[in-house]
Protein backbone atom coordinates (compact mmCIF):
# COMPACT_ATOMS: atom_id res chain seq x y z
CA UNK A 1 0.00 0.00 0.00
CA UNK A 2 2.80 2.42 1.01
CA UNK A 3 4.73 1.50 -2.15
CA UNK A 4 1.77 2.69 -4.27
CA UNK A 5 1.37 6.00 -2.43
CA UNK A 6 5.03 7.02 -2.53
CA UNK A 7 5.13 7.86 -6.28
CA UNK A 8 1.87 9.80 -6.02
CA UNK A 9 3.22 11.76 -3.06
CA UNK A 10 6.43 12.64 -4.86
CA UNK A 11 4.47 13.74 -7.94
CA UNK A 12 2.23 16.02 -5.85
CA UNK A 13 5.23 17.66 -4.17
CA UNK A 14 6.91 18.31 -7.56
CA UNK A 15 3.77 19.90 -9.03
CA UNK A 16 3.39 22.13 -5.99
CA UNK A 17 7.01 23.36 -6.23
CA UNK A 18 6.70 24.11 -9.95
CA UNK A 19 3.52 26.08 -9.41
CA UNK A 20 4.92 28.02 -6.47
CA UNK A 21 8.25 29.07 -7.96
CA UNK A 22 6.93 31.20 -10.93
CA UNK A 23 4.55 33.11 -8.65
CA UNK A 24 7.47 34.19 -6.49
CA UNK A 25 9.47 35.49 -9.47
CA UNK A 26 6.48 37.26 -11.00
CA UNK A 27 5.86 39.17 -7.79
CA UNK A 28 9.52 40.28 -7.67
CA UNK A 29 9.45 41.52 -11.27
CA UNK A 30 6.32 43.58 -10.58
CA UNK A 31 7.93 45.28 -7.59
CA UNK A 32 11.02 46.17 -9.64
CA UNK A 33 8.95 47.91 -12.31
CA UNK A 34 7.02 50.00 -9.80
CA UNK A 35 9.80 51.12 -7.50
CA UNK A 36 12.26 53.64 -9.05
CA UNK A 37 15.96 53.05 -8.78
CA UNK A 38 18.15 55.29 -6.62
CA UNK A 39 19.21 57.22 -9.72
CA UNK A 40 15.69 57.83 -11.06
CA UNK A 41 14.44 59.07 -7.66
CA UNK A 42 16.03 62.48 -8.45
CA UNK A 43 13.67 63.09 -11.35
CA UNK A 44 10.82 65.44 -10.47
CA UNK A 45 7.52 63.61 -10.06
CA UNK A 46 4.82 64.51 -12.51
CA UNK A 47 2.90 66.70 -10.06
CA UNK A 48 6.05 68.77 -9.39
CA UNK A 49 7.06 69.26 -13.03
CA UNK A 50 5.20 72.53 -13.40
CA UNK A 51 3.10 74.95 -11.36
CA UNK A 52 -0.64 75.10 -11.93
CA UNK A 53 -1.32 78.64 -13.09
CA UNK A 54 -4.61 80.36 -13.80
CA UNK A 55 -3.16 82.89 -16.23
CA UNK A 56 -3.91 82.12 -19.88
CA UNK A 57 -0.40 83.15 -20.93
CA UNK A 58 2.67 82.61 -18.78
CA UNK A 59 6.43 82.44 -19.09
CA UNK A 60 9.08 81.92 -16.43
CA UNK A 61 12.54 82.71 -17.72
CA UNK A 62 15.77 81.85 -15.89
CA UNK A 63 18.02 84.74 -16.86
CA UNK A 64 21.13 83.06 -15.49
CA UNK A 65 20.71 79.97 -17.69
CA UNK A 66 19.05 82.03 -20.44
CA UNK A 67 16.20 79.59 -20.89
CA UNK A 68 12.50 79.25 -20.20
CA UNK A 69 11.75 76.90 -17.31
CA UNK A 70 8.00 77.16 -17.79
CA UNK A 71 6.00 78.25 -20.83
CA UNK A 72 2.28 78.48 -21.52
CA UNK A 73 1.10 80.07 -24.78
CA UNK A 74 4.24 82.21 -24.67
CA UNK A 75 4.21 83.01 -28.39
CA UNK A 76 0.56 84.12 -28.51
CA UNK A 77 0.08 87.79 -29.40
CA UNK A 78 -2.22 89.48 -26.88
CA UNK A 79 -3.08 92.91 -25.47
CA UNK A 80 -0.70 93.93 -22.67
CA UNK A 81 -2.58 96.86 -21.08
CA UNK A 82 -0.44 98.95 -18.70
CA UNK A 83 2.62 96.74 -19.08
CA UNK A 84 3.05 99.31 -21.89
CA UNK A 85 4.18 101.89 -19.33
CA UNK A 86 7.54 100.16 -18.92
CA UNK A 87 8.34 101.02 -22.54
CA UNK A 88 6.99 104.55 -22.06
CA UNK A 89 9.38 105.00 -19.15
CA UNK A 90 12.34 103.63 -21.09
CA UNK A 91 11.96 106.00 -24.04
CA UNK A 92 11.44 108.98 -21.74
CA UNK A 93 14.60 108.13 -19.83
CA UNK A 94 16.50 107.42 -23.06
CA UNK A 95 15.66 110.94 -24.22
CA UNK A 96 17.49 112.38 -21.22
CA UNK A 97 14.67 114.80 -20.42
CA UNK A 98 15.08 116.70 -17.12
CA UNK A 99 13.31 114.87 -14.33
CA UNK A 100 12.80 118.08 -12.33
CA UNK A 101 10.96 119.81 -15.16
CA UNK A 102 7.40 120.63 -14.13
CA UNK A 103 4.51 119.30 -16.19
CA UNK A 104 0.88 120.34 -15.76
CA UNK A 105 -1.92 117.83 -16.31
CA UNK A 106 -4.26 118.98 -19.09
CA UNK A 107 -7.57 117.87 -20.58
CA UNK A 108 -5.74 116.05 -23.38
CA UNK A 109 -4.25 113.69 -20.78
CA UNK A 110 -7.69 112.35 -19.86
CA UNK A 111 -8.75 108.90 -21.04
CA UNK A 112 -11.47 109.29 -23.67
CA UNK A 113 -11.11 105.68 -24.88
CA UNK A 114 -12.04 103.71 -21.75
CA UNK A 115 -13.11 106.48 -19.39
CA UNK A 116 -10.82 105.13 -16.70
CA UNK A 117 -10.77 106.78 -13.28
CA UNK A 118 -7.90 108.94 -12.05
CA UNK A 119 -7.41 111.16 -9.04
CA UNK A 120 -5.15 113.47 -11.02
CA UNK A 121 -6.94 116.71 -11.89
CA UNK A 122 -6.55 119.33 -14.60
CA UNK A 123 -4.09 121.95 -13.41
CA UNK A 124 -2.07 119.66 -11.14
CA UNK A 125 1.63 120.35 -11.68
CA UNK A 126 4.19 117.66 -10.92
CA UNK A 127 7.76 116.99 -11.98
CA UNK A 128 8.56 114.56 -14.76
CA UNK A 129 10.18 112.31 -12.17
CA UNK A 130 6.99 112.28 -10.08
CA UNK A 131 4.92 111.43 -13.15
CA UNK A 132 7.27 108.55 -13.97
CA UNK A 133 6.93 107.29 -10.41
CA UNK A 134 3.12 107.40 -10.54
CA UNK A 135 2.96 105.79 -13.99
CA UNK A 136 5.10 102.85 -12.90
CA UNK A 137 4.02 102.47 -9.28
CA UNK A 138 0.30 103.23 -9.43
CA UNK A 139 -0.22 102.76 -13.17
CA UNK A 140 -1.56 106.33 -13.45
CA UNK A 141 -2.83 106.74 -17.00
CA UNK A 142 -2.86 110.54 -16.94
CA UNK A 143 0.74 110.54 -15.79
CA UNK A 144 1.77 108.28 -18.69
CA UNK A 145 -0.23 110.39 -21.15
CA UNK A 146 1.45 113.58 -19.92
CA UNK A 147 4.90 111.99 -20.25
CA UNK A 148 4.22 111.14 -23.90
CA UNK A 149 2.63 114.52 -24.63
CA UNK A 150 5.74 116.36 -23.38
CA UNK A 151 8.14 114.08 -25.25
CA UNK A 152 10.06 115.92 -28.02
CA UNK A 153 7.67 115.85 -30.99
CA UNK A 154 4.67 114.98 -28.82
CA UNK A 155 2.72 111.77 -28.26
CA UNK A 156 3.03 110.47 -31.81
CA UNK A 157 6.82 110.81 -31.65
CA UNK A 158 6.90 109.06 -28.27
CA UNK A 159 4.83 106.12 -29.56
CA UNK A 160 6.99 105.88 -32.70
CA UNK A 161 10.07 105.71 -30.48
CA UNK A 162 8.44 103.02 -28.35
CA UNK A 163 7.95 100.88 -31.46
CA UNK A 164 11.50 101.58 -32.60
CA UNK A 165 12.81 100.58 -29.17
CA UNK A 166 10.83 97.35 -29.33
CA UNK A 167 12.46 96.44 -32.65
CA UNK A 168 15.86 97.35 -31.24
CA UNK A 169 15.30 94.88 -28.40
CA UNK A 170 14.24 92.14 -30.82
CA UNK A 171 10.57 92.32 -29.87
CA UNK A 172 9.32 91.35 -33.31
CA UNK A 173 5.75 90.57 -32.25
CA UNK A 174 5.18 93.80 -30.28
CA UNK A 175 3.31 96.92 -31.34
CA UNK A 176 2.31 100.09 -29.46
CA UNK A 177 -0.50 102.52 -30.25
CA UNK A 178 -0.41 104.67 -27.13
CA UNK A 179 1.71 105.33 -24.03
CA UNK A 180 -0.78 104.14 -21.40
CA UNK A 181 -1.89 100.68 -22.53
CA UNK A 182 -5.55 101.66 -22.62
CA UNK A 183 -5.53 100.93 -26.35
CA UNK A 184 -6.13 97.20 -26.81
CA UNK A 185 -3.98 97.33 -29.96
CA UNK A 186 -0.92 97.56 -27.73
CA UNK A 187 0.04 93.93 -28.16
CA UNK A 188 2.97 91.62 -27.49
CA UNK A 189 3.92 88.07 -26.55
CA UNK A 190 5.29 86.71 -23.29
CA UNK A 191 8.53 85.92 -25.12
CA UNK A 192 8.89 89.54 -26.23
CA UNK A 193 8.04 90.88 -22.79
CA UNK A 194 10.91 88.90 -21.28
CA UNK A 195 13.24 90.96 -23.49
CA UNK A 196 11.60 94.17 -22.33
CA UNK A 197 11.89 93.22 -18.66
CA UNK A 198 15.57 92.38 -19.01
CA UNK A 199 16.16 95.73 -20.72
CA UNK A 200 14.14 97.63 -18.10
CA UNK A 201 16.27 96.07 -15.36
CA UNK A 202 19.17 98.20 -16.63
CA UNK A 203 17.36 101.43 -15.64
CA UNK A 204 17.90 102.25 -11.96
CA UNK A 205 14.93 104.64 -11.88
CA UNK A 206 12.57 102.03 -13.33
CA UNK A 207 13.71 99.65 -10.61
CA UNK A 208 13.21 102.34 -7.97
CA UNK A 209 9.90 103.69 -9.18
CA UNK A 210 8.22 100.40 -10.08
CA UNK A 211 8.97 98.87 -6.67
CA UNK A 212 8.12 101.91 -4.52
CA UNK A 213 5.40 100.75 -2.13
CA UNK A 214 3.64 104.11 -1.76
CA UNK A 215 4.14 107.86 -2.16
CA UNK A 216 2.49 111.06 -0.98
CA UNK A 217 2.17 113.60 -3.79
CA UNK A 218 1.65 117.31 -3.11
CA UNK A 219 0.65 119.64 -5.93
CA UNK A 220 0.15 123.35 -5.27
CA UNK A 221 -3.52 124.23 -4.93
CA UNK A 222 -4.62 120.60 -4.41
CA UNK A 223 -4.87 118.40 -1.31
CA UNK A 224 -2.04 115.87 -0.91
CA UNK A 225 -2.71 112.51 -2.55
CA UNK A 226 -1.46 109.15 -1.31
CA UNK A 227 -0.69 106.60 -4.05
CA UNK A 228 0.07 102.91 -3.58
CA UNK A 229 1.77 100.29 -5.71
CA UNK A 230 -0.71 98.21 -7.71
CA UNK A 231 1.37 95.09 -6.99
CA UNK A 232 1.03 94.06 -3.32
CA UNK A 233 4.04 91.75 -3.63
CA UNK A 234 6.50 94.67 -3.57
CA UNK A 235 5.88 95.10 0.16
CA UNK A 236 6.13 91.38 0.85
CA UNK A 237 9.43 90.74 2.64
CA UNK A 238 9.70 87.22 1.19
CA UNK A 239 10.01 88.64 -2.34
CA UNK A 240 13.10 90.24 -3.89
CA UNK A 241 11.65 92.21 -6.82
CA UNK A 242 13.72 94.34 -9.17
CA UNK A 243 11.04 95.38 -11.69
CA UNK A 244 7.27 95.25 -11.29
CA UNK A 245 4.35 96.26 -13.47
CA UNK A 246 0.69 95.38 -13.46
CA UNK A 247 -1.91 95.96 -16.15
CA UNK A 248 -5.61 95.64 -16.78
CA UNK A 249 -8.16 96.34 -19.46
CA UNK A 250 -11.06 94.03 -20.27
CA UNK A 251 -9.43 92.83 -23.50
CA UNK A 252 -6.15 91.94 -21.77
CA UNK A 253 -7.40 90.56 -18.49
CA UNK A 254 -5.24 91.13 -15.43
CA UNK A 255 -1.51 91.11 -16.16
CA UNK A 256 1.66 91.08 -14.10
CA UNK A 257 5.32 91.10 -15.10
CA UNK A 258 8.27 91.03 -12.72
CA UNK A 259 12.01 90.71 -12.69
CA UNK A 260 12.87 89.07 -9.39
CA UNK A 261 15.39 86.90 -7.60
CA UNK A 262 14.10 83.53 -6.40
CA UNK A 263 16.49 81.16 -4.66
CA UNK A 264 19.24 83.68 -5.54
CA UNK A 265 18.53 83.31 -9.26
CA UNK A 266 17.40 86.17 -11.54
CA UNK A 267 14.03 85.25 -12.99
CA UNK A 268 11.57 87.02 -15.29
CA UNK A 269 7.91 86.22 -14.65
CA UNK A 270 5.27 87.12 -17.25
CA UNK A 271 1.60 86.49 -16.47
CA UNK A 272 -1.03 87.68 -18.95
CA UNK A 273 -4.80 87.38 -19.19
CA UNK A 274 -5.42 86.32 -15.61
CA UNK A 275 -9.11 86.05 -14.85
CA UNK A 276 -10.12 87.07 -11.36
CA UNK A 277 -8.83 89.93 -9.25
CA UNK A 278 -6.25 87.93 -7.31
CA UNK A 279 -5.20 85.31 -9.88
CA UNK A 280 -2.06 87.06 -11.14
CA UNK A 281 -0.68 87.55 -7.61
CA UNK A 282 -1.67 84.01 -6.69
CA UNK A 283 0.08 82.70 -9.79
CA UNK A 284 3.24 84.63 -8.92
CA UNK A 285 3.25 83.12 -5.44
CA UNK A 286 2.69 79.66 -6.94
CA UNK A 287 5.68 80.16 -9.23
CA UNK A 288 7.85 81.18 -6.28
CA UNK A 289 6.69 78.24 -4.14
CA UNK A 290 7.23 75.81 -7.03
CA UNK A 291 10.78 77.03 -7.64
CA UNK A 292 11.65 76.96 -3.94
CA UNK A 293 10.20 73.49 -3.33
CA UNK A 294 11.87 72.13 -6.46
CA UNK A 295 15.25 73.51 -5.41
CA UNK A 296 14.81 72.24 -1.85
CA UNK A 297 14.16 68.71 -3.08
CA UNK A 298 17.21 68.87 -5.32
CA UNK A 299 15.09 68.27 -8.39
CA UNK A 300 15.67 69.56 -11.86
CA UNK A 301 13.18 72.18 -13.05
CA UNK A 302 11.71 70.97 -16.30
CA UNK A 303 10.74 73.03 -19.27
CA UNK A 304 7.02 72.98 -19.91
The answer to whether residue 289 is catalytic is no
Taking 50 as the threshold, does the pLDDT of residue 56 lie above it? yes
Confidence band (pLDDT; 50, 70, 90) for 295? confident
Give dist(CA 186, CA 183) in Å, integer.
6
46-296 to CATH, choices 1.10.10.60, 3.40.50.2300, 3.40.50.300, 3.40.710.10? 3.40.710.10
The answer to whether residue 139 is catalytic is yes
Q: What's the mean pLDDT in 133-153? A: 98
Taking 90 as the threshold, does the pLDDT of residue 72 lie above it? yes
Confidence band (pLDDT; 50, 70, 90) for 7? very low
* Contact yes or no for 169/144 (Cβ under 8 A): no
Give dist(CA 176, CA 162) in Å, integer.
7
Taking 60 as the threshold, does the pLDDT of residue 102 lie above it? yes
Report pLDDT digits (tens) over 83-96: 999 999 999 999 99
In a 13 Å sphere around the CA of 110, the CA atoms on its Cβ side amount to: 10
Residue 209: other Cβ atoms inside 10 A: 22
Q: What is the pTM of this model?
A: 0.82
Mean pLDDT lowest among 24-33, 56-65, 66-75? 24-33
The answer to whether residue 42 is catalytic is no
Instruction: Please give the pLDDT value at position 5.
Output: 43
Q: Which of 138, 139, 179, 274 is catalytic?
A: 139
* Contact yes or no for 283/91 (Cβ under 8 A): no
Give dist(CA 5, CA 51) in Å, integer.
70
Integer angstrom CA distances of residue 62 from 54, 71, 73, 258, 303: 21, 12, 17, 12, 11
Q: Which of 50, 72, 85, 210 is catalytic?
A: 85
What spatial distance separates the first Cα and last Cα of the chain, rounded to whole Å?
76
Cα–Cα–Cα angle for 5, 9, 10, rounded to 5 degrees: 120
Instruction: Please give the pLDDT value at position 90.
Output: 98
DSSP-based three-state secondary structure for 7: helix
270: which residues sit within 8 A by CB, 6+ positions away?
57, 58, 59, 60, 61, 74, 190, 193, 194, 197, 257
Domain ranges of the chain: 46-296
Altogether, the residues listed in the chain come to a count of: 304
Cα–Cα–Cα angle for 137, 140, 145, rounded to 5 degrees: 125
Q: Which of 50, 55, 71, 82 is catalytic?
A: 82
Residue 106: other Cβ atoms inside 10 A: 14
Amino acid sequence: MHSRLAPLLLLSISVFMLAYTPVTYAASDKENTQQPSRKSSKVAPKHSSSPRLGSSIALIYDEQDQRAIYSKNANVVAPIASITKLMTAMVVLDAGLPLEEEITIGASDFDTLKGSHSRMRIGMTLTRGELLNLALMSSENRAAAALARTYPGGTSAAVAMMNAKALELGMQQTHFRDSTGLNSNNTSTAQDLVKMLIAAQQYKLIHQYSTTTSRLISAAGFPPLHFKNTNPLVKNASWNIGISKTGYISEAGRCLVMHAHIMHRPVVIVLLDSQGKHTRVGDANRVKKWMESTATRGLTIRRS
